[in-house]
Structures are given as C-alpha cells and as structure tokens.
Amino acid sequence: MAALVRPTRDEDATLAQLQSTEDARRVEVSLQLQQAQRDQTRLSGERERVERDYRAGGLPVDLYAQLDLKIGVEEKAAFAQVKRLRTRERELSSEKLLA
C-alpha cells in the first residue's frame, strides 16, 4: 500500500521533466516578450525621428507617408505581439502543472 502513496523513481523523473519543461516555456515566453517590447520601443523611436525630420523639412511628403505607413503597420504588429505574449505569460503562470 505504501507504493501507492509514495512516488516511484519513474514518477519523480517524470515530474522533474514536466517542471523543467514548464520552466523552459516560461523563460522562452519572457525572453520573447522582452524582445517584442524592445521592438515596440525601437519603432516608437523611428516614428519620432521620421516625424521630426518631416517637420524640419528633411523628408518629402511622399517619403514621409510611406515611412509613416510602414512604421504604423510594424507598430501594430509589435503591439499585438506584446499583447499576445503577455496573455501567454499569464496563462503559463496560472496553469502550473505542478502547483
């Protein structure tokens, strides 16, 4: 009967592997989120530079419009990526396999 209560070595190894996989997923998502946030910051800086150059007369209207559109699309994608990764991070925190 004691064998039913106490985990076997195989069960211990399985639990350790599950914990390791769970931890690796959290680290991976965290690193991806950090990169996505850096991308957002970079794009925000690009938008500010383009706006500043345009206002200073350094960019023609057509080039400004192209850059503004391109950066806007990239910003939207970066925002969606950050949102998705934050959601995934919360999910991983709340669905601990080995709570």
Task: Provide the pLDDT for residue 96.
Answer: 67
Rounded to two decimals, the pTM is 0.73
pLDDT value of residue 1: 47
pLDDT of 32: 97
Residue 93: predicted pLDDT? 86
Return the pLDDT at 75: 96
58-94: pLDDT as tens digits: 999 999 999 999 999 999 999 999 999 999 999 988 8
Alpha helices in 6-60 (DSSP H): 9-55
State pLDDT tens for residues 14-45. Answer: 777 777 788 889 999 999 999 999 999 999 99
Parse the chain into domains and list their residue ranges: 35-99
Q: Buried (b) or exposed (e) across 37-60, using 16+ Cβ within 10 A? A: eebbeebeeebeebeeebeeeebe
